[in-house]
Every structure is written in C-alpha cells, then in structure tokens.
Chain A
Amino acid sequence: MSDFAPLHDVLGSDRARYMGGPFSLKDSWQTVAAEVGSWSLLGHGSWAIERADDGALVGQVGINKPAHYPEAEIGWTLCSGFEGNGYITEAAAAALLWAWSEMGASSLVSYITPGNSRSVSVAERLGGKPDLAAPLPLGETSEDTIVYRHFAPDCDGGMEAYA
C-alpha cells in the first residue's frame, strides 16, 4: 500500500502523458490494483523499484498482458527526481532476466508512444529493436504506438549468450 501514493504522484501528473495520463485518483488505483492482481491471474506482474540505500520508491517495472494486449509487454515508470541514475535500465534488465529464466519467455515487447525518447533510450540500452510487424494493442495504430522487441539470449545460457 505504501507504494501507491508515490505512484499516483506520477500517474496523476504530466509525467504520465505517454501512458494515457494524467490519471484520476480512481484510474491510478485501478491501474496499480491491476498490476498487483496480475500476479495472481497470470503469474507475472509489476515490481516496485526501491533504492537500496534508503528504500525510497524509485518507480515500477512490470511484465503485463492485460486483455487488450496481443502479447506480454515489459513497461516501466520512473518517479520524479530519480532520473539519470540508470535505475530503470537496471531494473528492467533484471525483469528481462526473470522473464527469460522464470517465465520461459523467448521475447517480450515494449509499447512506446512516439516522442517518448527517454523510454526509447531505455529500450535500446536493453538491446531492444523496433519491430514494425508486431501486432498492436487493441484499438491502437502505429501513430499511437511503437513496438520495441526484446529477445532472450541463446536459450541454453551457455557461451553463445555472452561470447
């Protein structure tokens, strides 16, 4: 519960403009509640990112597949004041490792609103590549959404994955 207030500070602000926001208190609540509930429903969902030094909530990273998504997405949110530390890249890289090793996923997408250059940078730092052929969330067009795709390293985890 203590994670909700700082997340609503983001979701309710202009920082959420690329996520369909700013969100009302009610819509923020439903968004966060859905991310929590996703763990029970699908076995994956969102993590809160804490700064190790002081426990401050830095943001969230999640692997979500709501009903209107054609496949599972990795997405992220950064709270105001934590920019420039690489926290999101670090957290998303950990979440991708989790997806490859625990979900058994071989690829995930990130849906990014055109113009959200910070998120594009994160996707590219993670090794994601634009996927022009990917299906889009229901009701969205290529003017609304760019798809970046992340692939699992070679699946045996052996040398080939790193060499």
Chain B
Amino acid sequence: MTSHLSRTAQPGAARNRLTENYAVSSILLHRMGEKDAGRPAARAMGYDMKDAQRRYPRLVSKRLMLISPADPEFDAQAAFLAPDAPRFINVADDADSLWWSIATIIGHWHLHGYGLFAVVERSTGDTVGLVGPWFPKGWPEPELSWHLMETGEGKGYASEAVQCVLDWLFNAAGWDTIVSYVPEENTASIALARRAGAQPERLVSFPLQPAPGLRCWRHSPAARRSGPEAARGLLH
C-alpha cells in the first residue's frame, strides 16, 4: 500500500491533468485559452488520442478510463510489475507468474487486436484492475474476464468496467455474444454477471481451464440498453 500512497501524494496535480483535458476518439478538448498548456498535458497523461486511436481503443466511463496495456502510452511495468505495484485480489502473490501473465495479456492484444484493458481510476491515475475479452488458445470461445486490484476494491469499479466493455463490444465493436466463466463458489462474480445481464448456462470443462467448477454465463446485446443513456457512460 505504500506505493498507492506515494503515487497519490499529489492528487491535485493528477486531478487537473486528468480532468481539464479530455480526449476521445476523434477530438481533443482543451480549456479555452490554454491551447499550448493543454495539449502537452493531455499527451503526457495519455489522453491525446492522435497516435494511439488507430490501434488501441480507449474507453471512458463515469469514474474510469480503460486502456490497452499494449498501448505505448501505458506503463505496464509500473502499473503491474514494479515491486511496489498494488496486488491483484484473489491472485497468488507470485511475481514470476505475474510477469508471464502480464506479458501474455499484452501479447494477446497484438495477436487478436483486442484483450484485457487496464482499468484506470480517472481521479487518481491509479490502475485498479484488468477487464476485457480474453480468448487464448484452448478457450472454447471469447470470455469477458475481470480481475480487480486492491486499489479498486469496494467501489463498484469491476461492475462499471464490465458494463463499459460490454457497451463497447456490443455497440461499437460489433460483437453479438461473449461469455464469462465463473467458479460456482465465486458469489461476488456471479452477482456481477447477473447485474450485467448475463444468463447462466452449462457447467464447462476444457483442458486449460483456470479453475474447477466453472459455469458459463452468457452476455448478449439484448440484455443491454443502448442509446443516449449508454452513450453517456461510454466514449471511445
């Protein structure tokens, strides 16, 4: 937790950079009269989409920004792998296997063009989890997967990020279905899947499955509302 405290030691500075310069896919906003001050600050915070938009989408919800960990402007080393990086919840504290996991997650973007997004808390710039579509070799079909870090616990961030990714997949990326594989005893994830509108299906078994006793939960566009309400929560 020392890392968390040290990186939020200047919340005022981070807040200004994050909130005064918004960039979304095709436009950039700077405070009127601050063109020269605004743009470099936006770029420094990764909010200038000029170079990145063609390869990696960024999603923005009310409190979060979702960015590909493969995006050159995202520092995966600092966010996930540095000795003082916050830990993932419910993941064994094993620095070696975490390195391979993060490398695989980044490589997945290069191989598929999509993958798990790093979930960034907009008010602080802290990375609080990973959420997104996940389809490594051996998976029966693409899975919407979520992993929360201790920096994001108890704030509804997993839900907000899952909703944001589902809106993007179904409204912008043209997907028509995705599943989540959830252990039967993981009541928190089951509740999240239900709230996101997913329907329970069969128990699944595949050779590389990460845990025993997985049930398939299916997300579908019909379970989601589109239109202005959704657009308010999703800029990409």
Hey, which bits of chain A sit against chain B, CB under 8 A?
A: 1-3, 32, 35-36, 39, 45-53, 55, 58, 60-62, 85-87, 89-91, 93-98, 100-102, 124-127, 153, 156-159, 161-163
Contacts and interface: CB of A to CB of B under 8 A. Distances in A.
B53 A52 contact: yes
A97 B235 CA distance: 10
A152 to B, nearest CB: 9
A153 B235 CA distance: 15
What's the interface size class on B, roughly?
35 or more
Contacts of B31: 39, 45-48
Interface of B: 19, 22-33, 35, 39, 48-50, 53, 60-63, 122-123, 156, 159-160, 163-164, 167, 195-197, 225, 227-233, 235
Contacts of A124: 228
Binding site secondary structure of chain A: mixed
Contacts, number: 139
A18 B47 CA distance: 33
B52 to A, nearest CB: 10
A156 B26 contact: no
B23 A126 contact: no
Given A97-B232, A162-B163, A48 B50 contact: no
A52 B48 contact: yes
Between A86, A125, A157, the greatest number of chain B beta carbons within 10 A of the residue's beta carbon is seen for A157
21 contacts: A3-B32, A36-B32, A36-B33, A39-B31, A45-B32, A47-B31, A49-B29, A50-B30, A52-B23, A62-B32, A87-B26, A93-B231, A94-B60, A95-B29, A98-B22, A101-B19, A101-B63, A101-B123, A153-B229, A163-B195, A163-B197
A98 B27 CA distance: 15
